[in-house]
Structure 1
Amino acid sequence: MSVVGIDLGFLNCYVAVARSGGIETIANEYSDRCTPACISLGSKTRAIGNAAKSQIVTNVKNTLHGFKKMHGRAFDDPYIQGERVKLPYELQKMPNGSVGLKVRYLDEERPFAIEQVTGMLLAKLKETSESALKKPVADCVISVPSFFTDAERRSVIAAAQVAGLNCLRLMNETTLPLAYGIYKQDLPALEEKPRNIVFVDMGHSAYQVSVCAFNKGKLKILATAFDPFLGGRNFDEALVDYFCGEFRTKYKLNVKENARALLRLYQESEKLKKLMSANASDLPLNIECFMDDLDVSSKMNRAQFEQLCAPLLAKVEPPLRTVMDQAKLQREDISSIEIVGGATRIPAVKEQITRFFGKDISTTLNADEAVARGCALQCAILSPAFKVREFSITDVIPYSITLRWKSSYEEGTGECEVFSKNHAAPFSKVITFHKKEPFDLEAYYTHPNEIPYPEPRIGRFAIQNVGPQYDGDNSKVKVKVRVNVHGIFSVANASVIEKQNDKMQVDQEEGNHKSQAEQPSQADEESEQHGGTETKGKMMMQDKLEKERNDAKNAVEEYVYDFRDKLYGVFEKFVTEEESSKLTLMLEDTENWLYEDGEDQPKQVYMDKLQELRVSFFFCFCCFFCFYRTHIFFKNLIIKDEIQ
């Protein structure tokens, strides 16, 4: 059994595995270590990853991409509504109010829940891992943005369950320094002053910063900051908007009304952005048959690009300033600045970071694979199957969390902040209440304006089986609250301390007084998981059947090509011209059938056709063989007679 780390990106995904020799990033069937976060559904089967990305333009409305940030969100969420107008595929409101991704699959229109969609992607990554490692994969660590809320994190865990993966931990992308610190041999000892390092991660859809303190065998996140709406795709959008305006003026084309043309422009703009990172001169943008059979062209250079993106570049510094303030550090307290993420390759972004800290930035970590490698290391640490050098990791809670409570017999409400921003995690606390009857606890994020999510409420928890003491006094209720390894808040258990014979005795049976959240019950979760797994099973079966059908069709086509080569090759001297013409005609008829009536036939039809060809050609060659042997026999007789 192997354990893997998965970087579940907005644009691309990476999988890394811990082995005895270290950490290795796994390549997929295309020998590419990067797998696009893309799923294309068709009338018969699905394509996931590289194969799906190639269909973005040709299968516009049924190719899903850019769905990572839809986890845990309602259809009416402002973010979803903002994304809805940009996406070429359709979104639909699900019965429970969540967002569904609507496509046409197996000749039927249907919406898929985000957990199902991400589950398909994770199942593909699992399959890729198992194929490369030649052994089953179950345990994994999956990366999520540090700014994800409880609802978003629960949704990602559900997607992992749909894929048949056991997620040992949801790891914040800002904890990627694990891959940096565990191999460092020159870190200060535990009793010495830690080495402070800033990690800047700007990916395709988000910008995250963390300050980390390192000692030998120890990593502590001091603070995190982020801009969830600044990333590489924003720079792409700036280019697309510019070229759309230019093409409207120059070619009278309204690009944004044509989904296919807009996607092509996004692809070319992204390529141009990458080229400008390495070249400061004018670079061309040319797209053939762009719209209305027109070829379009333009150009851009780095200086123009930076001027165009000035408002975006101005957003680079604020999170850097915020994270330093929260960590209570000065610039001279920072040993180095490490950058990762594709968008940090933009020269102007690097310049902004360098200017703020007043020192050169470092690229020790692989910009694309660092998160996956960190996840793989964390998975190896958590798995009993691996022996890894002891390394302590302390993460932080990105948002402060407050509990509010109210009883039916009490007036007003009470509340307290149980976890402050940047509090160490995972962490548990016990809170004592004095109550005479059951009561509810409501958890919510203390500062709603700090979270990139419209709903500050985390959940409601019912504390049951609480009553007065035998003398009528309030009972002492101890409630244990926790932020777990996934960064998810919960009320773990509640216990009542009862008076007996004038002494205090604690009821130690955890869970005797249940806490229930306004979330699916265990039975509901199991039902949903089973339903997701069943859906996945049906899709996999459909994929298998379609693959077998295509394999049977390809076998007929290969037989035609192979036999035609042999007919004009090794068999040529044994076949008469008349018979060769007859066989060639049979091959052409079969080939025409494959591309016409035989284009979309059941597997058995192709198998029957292949058998028919084999029998026909076998009979013909039996005749050829007999003729050839007879010909050789008489030829030998003539030669023998001449010799005599």
Structure 2
Amino acid sequence: MIIGIDLGTTNSACAVFRDGAPMLIPNRLGQTLTPSAVSLDESGEILVGLAARERQANHPEVTATAFKRYMGTKRTTKLGGKMYSAEALSALVLRSLKEDAEVFLGEPVTEAVITVPAYFNDQQRKATHRAGELAGLRVERLINEPTAAALAYGIHHLDREARFFVFDLGGGTFDVSIVEIFEGVIEVRASTGDNQLGGEDFNEVLITMMRERFAGEWGNAVRDDRLYQRIREQAERARRTMSTAPSATMRVMWGETPYEMEVQTTAFEVAAAPLVERLREPVLRALRDSELRPEGLSDIILIGGATRMPLVRRAVARMFGRFPNATVNPDEAVALGAAVQAGLKARDAALKEVVVTDVCPYSLGVNISRAIPGGGFEHGIFAPILERNTVIPASRVHSFVTLADNQPDVLFGIYQGEARLVRDNVEIGKTRVKVPRGPAGQRIDVRFSYDVSGLLEVDILVEQSGERTSLVINDDQAGDDESIAQRREALAALKTHPRDDALNRAALARGEKLYENFLGEERAHIDWLIAEFQRAIEGQDPRTVEHAREAFHTALDRIEGERFL
């Protein structure tokens, strides 16, 4: 049995695709949301979920929450004398969800599709996969959270063409995606986000307000973790209250004294304005990358509990010039979408006509050195090969040359990120290739091939020697050697440069023929058309090339007349 799991910062949920539709699975308390919290009781027994979260305020030294934010880092949490990594704590939550699902379904659950923020990097995705394995699950796929939400929404709208914007503000992360539906295809056009922006940050605004209000009374105790957790609990309650009320009251008992502070919603919104401003850039970047304008979108879908805040909804309305769609349950959509993906993996008959594509959320490339005018070199420059929001699976090749005479080898570091310098990006692999001794300028072709499950295959060809080097980087480490071999075989079909595609070669041949047949202004125009088509080919984007080829033939038809073949 395979299930879909939304592993959230604040709450987690799981769902299954059954009888032609996704359905949420209740936990042992009959609730569909399980707090992402872990605690130890007095006897040392591990508690997960609501029981753990309720201990946060009074037993912070043995309780952990919001650990998803530290996935893929070396940060650990001490509980009862033992250190736990974020992935180990996440594994405990996943195991609890797995056990609840087995009770509800009445059969063993062995596989899962787990959601991750679209902007999780390679290390964070690998940590999530390891957490699934520690929980006793075979992780069939890691799927981006806004993509999962788009699946949950789009599965009911396959009969129409639409473009919609998924705005996902959860407890700890912020993601956005632009999704297009056409002819039974659900295609992600762009994804971006901020891994350090969510409901917890808005809670911190309220925590700071209360700490400052009672700084004199609390003195040094203001830094006490027990006090902090009590304020944090009240901040969460107050933030939720202010989603529907003009004010909220935060009450904390410290020592023998009760402390109370009323917060006006307007004051909170003023203090939180810098966080709201941070929501703008990912939205603008996604629109730029997808080459769409807000008026070209059919709907704006809100996902994640933090989108219930009126200041967030107003900000979204201002950005897009209209009110967002509020019909989707922001807490459930991601888990339901994960279940749809699980159904696709299980080849459910109800989903046989559905095709889902995703994008590469980060640019992938290598480190290079560049000559500086006047002499010398600048090292550590990032050269993207697969740019962010490339529809995957995809394969691209770029050419580089050696810098020095008799250079014996070249070290290629493989990086993920958007920064100009590789030191500011994430290194996910490296390989060294030998180069025959000779003058500088020897060509080396580097091809990146990337699939929807996070398999990155790097192929390097040294032109002079013909020597090839291959490196496989498995983003989520899903599957055994046989399944990885099958995925590599599928990628192999993409490893043809568009210039070698028969349709493109035929189109260029037609253009060259017409260039010879015409003179004057027509010849100059044909030359320009050929150059534009070749520019599209060198960009290596299949969709762009296809559109450019159609436009090329249309333009040539106007010059020559309609083709007879």
TM-score, structure 2 as length reference: 0.73
| 2:78 is equivalent to residue 102 of structure 1 | yes
Distance (Å, rounded) in 1 between the aligned partners of 2:445 and 2:6: 39
| 2:306 is equivalent to residue 340 of structure 1 | no
Greater CA drift, 123-132 or 314-323? 314-323
1:120 corresponds to: 92
Structure 1 pair 479/315, CA: closer, same or farther in 2 (3 Å)? closer
- The answer (yes or no) to whether the contact 2:3–2:15 under 8 Å persists in 1 is yes
Structure 1 pair 12/497, CA: closer, same or farther in 2 (3 Å)? same
Distance (Å, rounded) in 2 between the aligned partners of 1:318 and 1:362: 21
| 2:145 is equivalent to residue 145 of structure 1 | no
Which residue of 387, 393, 396 corresponds with 1:426? 393
Which residue of 103, 116, 131 corresponds with 1:159? 131
| 2:299 is equivalent to residue 327 of structure 1 | no
1:145-204 per-position Cα deviation (integer Å, ceiling 9, x unaligned): 11111111111111111112111111111212011111215413xxxxxx2211111111
Structure 1 pair 379/488, CA: closer, same or farther in 2 (3 Å)? same
Counterpart residue identity of residue 111, structure 2: D
Which residue of 361, 366, 369 corresponds with 2:332? 369
Counterpart residue identity of residue 298, structure 2: S
- The answer (yes or no) to whether the contact 2:142–2:476 under 8 Å persists in 1 is no
| 2:181 is equivalent to residue 204 of structure 1 | no
Distance (Å, rounded) in 2 between the aligned partners of 1:22 and 1:327: 30
Structure 1 pair 450/364, CA: closer, same or farther in 2 (3 Å)? farther
Q: Which has the larger radius of gyration?
A: 1
Structure 1 pair 178/275, CA: closer, same or farther in 2 (3 Å)? same
Distance (Å, rounded) in 2 between the aligned partners of 1:386 and 1:140: 19
* Structure 1 residue 310 displacement after superposition: 2.1
Q: Unpaired runs of 5+ in structure 2?
A: 370-375, 482-565
* Structure 1 residue 143 displacement after superposition: 0.8
- The answer (yes or no) to whether the contact 1:244–1:255 under 8 Å persists in 2 is no
1:130 corresponds to: 102
1:550-608 per-position Cα deviation (integer Å, ceiling 9, x unaligned): xxxxxxxxxxxxxxxxxxxxxxxxxxxxxxxxxxxxxxxxxxxxxxxxxxxxxxxxxxx
1:315 corresponds to: 278
Which residue of 181, 196, 205 corresponds with 1:238? 205
Question: 1:434-583, aligned counterparts within 5 Å?
Answer: 440-445=411-416, 447-448=418-419, 455-462=425-432, 481-487=448-454, 489-491=456-458, 515=471
- The answer (yes or no) to whether the contact 1:341–1:367 under 8 Å persists in 2 is yes
Counterpart residue identity of residue 141, structure 1: V
Counterpart residue identity of residue 416, structure 2: Y
Structure 1 pair 517/310, CA: closer, same or farther in 2 (3 Å)? closer
| 2:229 is equivalent to residue 263 of structure 1 | yes
* Structure 1 residue 309 displacement after superposition: 1.6
- The answer (yes or no) to whether the contact 2:203–2:232 under 8 Å persists in 1 is yes
Structure 1 pair 278/33, CA: closer, same or farther in 2 (3 Å)? same
Counterpart residue identity of residue 27, structure 2: N
Distance (Å, rounded) in 1 between the aligned partners of 2:342 and 2:330: 20
Structure 1 pair 446/206, CA: closer, same or farther in 2 (3 Å)? closer
Which residue of 301, 307, 314 corresponds with 1:351? 314
Secondary structure of 1:212's match? strand
Greater CA drift, 58-67 or 156-165? 58-67
- The answer (yes or no) to whether the contact 1:11–1:36 under 8 Å persists in 2 is yes
2:496 corresponds to: none
Distance (Å, rounded) in 1 between the aligned partners of 2:431 and 2:421: 24
1:69 corresponds to: 69
* Structure 1 residue 461 displacement after superposition: 2.8
- The answer (yes or no) to whether the contact 2:392–2:450 under 8 Å persists in 1 is yes
Q: Unpaired runs of 5+ in structure 1?
A: 74-97, 189-194, 469-473, 500-505, 526-644
Distance (Å, rounded) in 2 between the aligned partners of 1:220 and 1:520: 21
Distance (Å, rounded) in 1 between the aligned partners of 2:116 and 2:58: 31
Which residue of 375, 387, 401 corresponds with 2:364? 401
* Structure 1 residue 226 displacement after superposition: 1.7
1:56 corresponds to: 56
| 2:239 is equivalent to residue 283 of structure 1 | no
1:38 corresponds to: 37
Q: How many residues in Structure 1 have an aligned counterpart in Structure 2? A: 462
* Structure 1 residue 230 displacement after superposition: 2.2
Structure 1 pair 489/232, CA: closer, same or farther in 2 (3 Å)? same
Distance (Å, rounded) in 2 between the aligned partners of 1:440 and 1:219: 39
Counterpart residue identity of residue 226, structure 2: R
**Two-structure CA RMSD over aligned residues (Å):** 3.6
Structure 1 pair 18/150, CA: closer, same or farther in 2 (3 Å)? same
TM-score, structure 1 as length reference: 0.65
Secondary structure of 2:351's match? coil
Distance (Å, rounded) in 1 between the aligned partners of 2:202 and 2:388: 30
* Structure 1 residue 207 displacement after superposition: 1.9
* Structure 1 residue 35 displacement after superposition: 0.7
| 2:16 is equivalent to residue 17 of structure 1 | yes
| 2:23 is equivalent to residue 47 of structure 1 | no
Counterpart residue identity of residue 286, structure 1: R
Structure 1 pair 383/495, CA: closer, same or farther in 2 (3 Å)? farther
1:27 corresponds to: 26
Structure 1 pair 419/275, CA: closer, same or farther in 2 (3 Å)? same
1:117-149 per-position Cα deviation (integer Å, ceiling 9, x unaligned): 222221111111111111111121111111111
Identical residues among aligned pairs (%): 28
1:601-627 per-position Cα deviation (integer Å, ceiling 9, x unaligned): xxxxxxxxxxxxxxxxxxxxxxxxxxx
Secondary structure of 1:171's match? strand
- The answer (yes or no) to whether the contact 2:166–2:177 under 8 Å persists in 1 is yes
1:530 corresponds to: none
- The answer (yes or no) to whether the contact 1:14–1:372 under 8 Å persists in 2 is yes
2:344 corresponds to: 381
Counterpart residue identity of residue 118, structure 1: S
Structure 1 pair 317/182, CA: closer, same or farther in 2 (3 Å)? same
Structure 1 pair 415/234, CA: closer, same or farther in 2 (3 Å)? closer
1:183 corresponds to: 156
Greater CA drift, 14-23 or 481-490? 481-490
Secondary structure of 2:323's match? coil
Greater CA drift, 395-404 or 384-393? 384-393
- The answer (yes or no) to whether the contact 1:244–1:254 under 8 Å persists in 2 is no
* Structure 1 residue 206 displacement after superposition: 1.9
Distance (Å, rounded) in 2 between the aligned partners of 1:433 and 1:147: 29
Structure 1 pair 285/154, CA: closer, same or farther in 2 (3 Å)? closer
- The answer (yes or no) to whether the contact 1:461–1:517 under 8 Å persists in 2 is no
Distance (Å, rounded) in 2 between the aligned partners of 1:117 and 1:11: 13
- The answer (yes or no) to whether the contact 1:255–1:262 under 8 Å persists in 2 is no
* Structure 1 residue 476 displacement after superposition: 10
- The answer (yes or no) to whether the contact 1:154–1:488 under 8 Å persists in 2 is no
Distance (Å, rounded) in 1 between the aligned partners of 2:5 and 2:359: 21
Counterpart residue identity of residue 205, structure 1: G
Which residue of 162, 184, 195 corresponds with 1:217? 184
Question: 1:559-638, aligned counterparts within 5 Å?
Answer: none
Distance (Å, rounded) in 1 between the aligned partners of 2:420 and 2:464: 42
- The answer (yes or no) to whether the contact 2:72–2:127 under 8 Å persists in 1 is yes
* Structure 1 residue 434 displacement after superposition: 9.9
Counterpart residue identity of residue 284, structure 1: T
Secondary structure of 2:160's match? coil
1:293 corresponds to: 256
Secondary structure of 1:363's match? coil
Secondary structure of 2:188's match? strand
